[in-house]
Amino acid sequence: MENSFELINERLQKIEVLLQQLLQQTQTAIEENYTDQLMATGELAMYFGVSRSTVYKMKSTLDMPFIKIGKMLLFSRKDIDNWLNNYRSKNNG
């Protein structure tokens, strides 16, 4: 018969593995949702660390991707990240 402490230790190790898997799955889901979110002009300004007026100028002069619904401008985080990567490679290469 196994020692009860060994049995408890084995079960704790299994629980730790399952918790690590769950945390990893949760983190992946959060990251996927985060990259697909839409941002308003103020949120994009905070993301870039610039003013809202700078975002409007960038949208007008740099062919930045956006969605317009009525008077509201929305920016897909995924599209903006792709645009940034392309913009950097065009201007740094």
pLDDT in tens, 26-78: 887 766 665 678 999 999 999 999 999 999 999 999 889 999 999 899 999 98
| Same domain membership, residue 87 and residue 50 | yes
Q: What is the pLDDT of residue 35?
A: 60
Alpha carbons 39 and 68: distance in angstroms, whole number: 12
How do residues 7-22 score in pLDDT, each as one tens digit? 999 999 999 999 999 8
- How far apart CA 48 and CA 73 sit, in angstroms, is 16
Residue 49 sits in the same domain as residue 70: yes
Does residue 93 carry a pLDDT above 70? no
Domain match, 86 and 41 both: yes
Predicted pLDDT of residue 56: 93
State the residue range of the domain holding 25.
1-35
- Pair (45, 26) in one structural domain: no
What distance in Å separates the CA atoms of residue 51 and residue 33, rounded to the nearest whole number? 25
Distance from C-alpha of 22 to C-alpha of 64, rounded to nearest angstrom: 37
> Total structural domains in the chain?
2
Domain match, 23 and 68 both:
no
Q: What is the CATH number of the domain that holds 57?
A: 1.10.10.10
Q: Provide the phi-psi class of 72: left if phi over 0, else alpha when psi is between -120 and 50, else beta.
A: beta
